[in-house]
Structure 1
Amino acid sequence: MVQHEIAGCNVIPGCWTVQIVESCNVTYYRPFIHAEALMGIFELGSGRNLVTVTIAGKRPVAASETRSTESPSAGDHVRVSSIEASARDLQDLAVLWSIGEARATDVVGAACEALVAGLDSPALRILAACTRGEAEYDVPDLLPAALDELGLTFYPRDSEAGREAAVRALADQMLAGRLTPRELALRIHQRFGHQLPLAERLAELDDEYDILEYGDRTPAQIDAEVTAEARRLASGAGNDPIPRS
């Protein structure tokens, strides 16, 4: 009886449950989030690095507010580190999205995590409230505003600065353990070829992986060189690669 009459039945006849959830998001939840964001605008005024007040009374902060000259307590240090990490992740996801290396839904997920960590702005709230179906259409409009309000940088799609920032973001991902050295070199090579001076050495190292069986180098040696190059890029160094070993 349970299998035939209960399992899989719809909440409203003729509508899948997922349709009801999506409709609730579009017709109720998102207007609520939008109204809440507008309340923050009217209360505090608009502008760069906008700080808003949540309904719960918590005072969120923009990315630039996490830098203080005062000595923080242990709890404050953990919170500041979490906020800075969330801001960095949002910035990285934004730049990877701008070159097609991340999905719009990934950006929405990073916006949600940033809100949870304590970052806040009107556009960030609306961005975090996007559904999967809305993300592709809304992220291009909401992301620049959210980054601007948080004091972060928006890179236009396929801009030179955006491509270089994306290389550094991918290097960060490898150093964080989200990519292997081989995967980093491959993604850089596939995305930029040998056309981007900043990433030229990684593209060359991807070629070296392909000819390992014909040379005298080991995978571990190339991995080490990719890792060193990733550290150089993540540190913000310029276009001069580490000398070849």
Structure 2
Amino acid sequence: MKRILNVILAVLVFTFLSSVSKGQSEIEYEPGTDINVTTGADICADVVTINGTFSGDGTQCNSALPVELSSFSAIVKGDEVELNWQTATEVNNYGFEIERTSPRPSPQGEGGEAGRGWEKIGFVEGHGNSNSPKNYSFEDKSVESGKYSYRLKQIDNNGGFSYSQEVEVKVEAIPTEFALFQNYPNPFNPSTTIKFSLPETGYYSLKIFNTLGEEVAQLINGQLEGGNYRLPFDASKLASGVYIYNLKGNNVNLSMKMTLMK
């Protein structure tokens, strides 16, 4: 006996979100099934397989993924990891949970996968619905030396979710090259943080100059060991404007601009 599915004066939409990044939602009807979809009705999923008979004036369609992720990257900045990603389109997007694996192997990770224990380290709110590219970022400030893997757990407003592909970075205990990073926040008022990396021990200075080249502050002037550094800078006694901070020492002379807005 045939099984009959009648869809009358309604929109029947099947949307399944996979719990893994490469999964797809699928509707499959067994042989002998008679599908009668009336005008104004849809049958939707990532994959619709009909082994029986499809009739009526309704439509079949492939359901668009809630979020189309166009890029996802991780960059080591001293003793922090910066994650950046971009979406091409968003539908019903609640947001993204950021997940990370520990550099130290665990006895058994999530899902029974040895040495792959994922942990949630943050959340970034989504834009809901969007047909234009949207950029996101997140800074992981709680890292030590070792290899880290990151992934995004995209969650929609109905509680469904999917995972992005993983990205991996290696955080060195001692940096391999000199680096001076953009202060954060920038612009700022009245305090900000300046980060830099030193691959070797030596004599270094970190000074602040105005646009006339006049020194207005000195944060460091002495011996430092190789490593990653983060220094606070209080500009409460300075006037609003653009300032230049300069790191100078063993084979290094780096400068960056920052803006004080009061």
Using structure 1 for the length normalisation, give the TM-score. 0.29
Structure with greater strand percent: 2
Larger Cα Rg: Structure 1 or Structure 2?
Answer: 2
Using structure 2 for the length normalisation, give the TM-score. 0.27
